Amino acid sequence: MSSTDKVQLPKSLRMIIMGPPGSGKGTQAPKIADKYCVCHLSTGDMLRAAVAEGTALGKEAKVIMEAGGLVSDEIMVNMIKENLGNQECKNGFVLDGFPRTVVQAEKLDEMLDKNNTPLEHAVELVIDDQLLVARITGRLVHSRSGRSYHKIFNPPKVHMTDDITGEPLIQRADDNEQTLKKRLASYHSSTKPVTEYYRKRGIFSEVDAARSQVAVWQSLMAIFSSKN
């Protein structure tokens, strides 16, 4: 049994996870949800699902999006509230993609406090921008399966060819340095006030995401067990 397995798991886990594109949120968030038997709420996925299912909130959001507008904070918070009523969220949640502003953070806190389910952790996966650029601009993808490779860190056995099917690999159009730097600048400018908000609340933690997936995971486990 590993040292992390001996750590007593918290009875509940209510957190948000933040991080720039390529920081590893998509890897760690589902693992957290599985380990702690909580739900993973990606706001983008929730929004798409609500629209596809034709829920009341989904219909409202669809009208706004089709008109080229931004879905309101109220709709997003209510969508989160609706999902928190699901059975898989009874032990808590990992919220990914929201809040992006201090106003959204305040609205989220207000809703969670009314439900007596206050946020326990706000974690940011932190990584140097230049390392992210190197990681993402070298990314290669097999479009049909979603399998990913990297020109330097995880190259395919045959140049630009999927190891399993032998089909060609592609590089996504937005996986270029210019686009990525703009996305990173936008992320930092919008996220800094949010991290400060949670830092003042005493629930903010940073994790060095430049390390291995195992090291990042161990850091997350230590954060969650520290408030057990």
Q: Is 225 annotated as a binding residue?
A: no
Catalytic choice (14, 100, 107, 135): 100
147 is catalytic: no
Q: Is 104 annotated as a binding residue?
A: yes
Helix (H) or strand (E) holding 84: helix 73-84
Q: Is 148 annotated as a binding residue?
A: yes
Q: Is 44 annotated as a binding residue?
A: no
Whether residue 57 contacts residue 81, with contact meaning beta carbons closer than 8 Å, is answered with: no
Q: Is 14 annotated as a binding residue?
A: no
For strands 139-141 and 148-150, give the pairing. Answer: antiparallel
Q: Is 97 annotated as a binding residue?
A: yes
157 is catalytic: no
How many other C-beta atoms can be found within 10 angstroms of the C-beta atom of residue 29? 23
How many other C-beta atoms can be found within 10 angstroms of the C-beta atom of residue 157? 9
Q: Is 58 annotated as a binding residue?
A: no
Q: Is 10 annotated as a binding residue?
A: no
172 is catalytic: yes
Catalytic choice (172, 182, 192, 227): 172
Which residues are 196's β-sheet partners? none
| Percent of the chain as helix, strand, coil, to the nearest 5 | 50, 15, 35
Q: Would you please indicate which residues are annotated as catalytic (active-site) residues?
A: 25, 100, 139, 172, 183
Residue set of the binding site for AMP: 43, 48, 69-71, 97-100, 104, 172, 183
Residue set of the binding site for ATP: 22-27, 139, 148-149, 211
Residue set of the binding site: 22-27, 43, 48, 69-71, 97-100, 104, 139, 148-149, 172, 183, 211
